Amino acid sequence: MANYESCEMCNFEIHKSILIVVSDTSKLTDNTQTGVWFEEFAIPYFELINKGYEVTTASPNGGQIPIDPKSLIDKYDSAKLALSNAKRLNSVDYQRYDAIILPGGHGPMFDLSNNELLGKIINDFDKREKLIAAICHGPAGLLSAVNFVKNRKLTAFTNEEEFFSGNETKIPFYLEDALKNSGALFVQGNINEVNVVEDRNLITAQNYKSTELFTQKIIKYLD
């Protein structure tokens, strides 16, 4: 039997690779400006980079990613740079990644909720038991994977929060309703309440207030 305690190779460091998929959408149905909700992208990105993970940012079209102007904060400049030149999703070798993260902003409801390639990626990650994480409106991207959310405990931006934010007439559908109609076991918190739900290899968060805990849960899972 090999003596693993004395093995010279036992102290090697495993470098994990993370794929963050963001939306290209810049306008709501009434032409109100939107984009990725910056801290939902920036905080996970920054913390994962600090952990030494390789992080790739991708979107359906690639290139410059719109940022919701209401979400901009004067921090995380490296994260802003990552959003200036995202990779095109179909150019990414997704099978080499250990986790996929879907940040929010209303955009995923427009271009990630029905993206066939994203659906294929999510189903592949689930089959390989890799981490799938989504926050706020990011869980709209989970709808692209047929039957993925069925009987899964999860959360997302709620109907109440859409009305509270005044965007209820500017969106193509209500995300809470769409997830429930697809068979998800929706776990709802109060408006702007920190709410993160874990179900096996799926981590979801309700809103931007949940970003820090969401990030901590992702890092704990990967570690």
- Residue spans per domain, the chain: 15-222
User: pLDDT tens digits for 155-205?
Assistant: 999 999 999 999 999 999 999 999 999 999 999 999 999 999 999 999 999
Helix extents (H) in the chain: 38-50, 77-82, 108-111, 116-127, 159-165, 175-181, 211-222
In the block, residue with structure tokens 């719109």: 66
Structure tokens at 65: 């990613």
User: pLDDT tens digits for 109-132?
Assistant: 999 999 999 999 999 999 999 999
Predicted pLDDT of residue 15: 80
Q: How far apart are CA 43 and CA 20, in angstroms?
A: 12
Predicted pLDDT of residue 3: 38
> Does CATH place domain 15-222 in 3.40.50.880?
yes
Beta carbons of 219 and 51 less than 8 angstroms apart? yes
Mention every residue, 6+ apart, whose C-beta is less than 8 A from residue 153.
184, 185, 187, 197, 198, 199
CA torsion angle 205 54 129 133 (round to 10): 10
Pick from 89, 93, 133: nearest CA to 111: 89
Predicted pLDDT of residue 73: 83
Q: What is the mean pLDDT of residues 52-62?
A: 97
Q: How far apart are CA 15 and CA 63, in angstroms?
A: 26
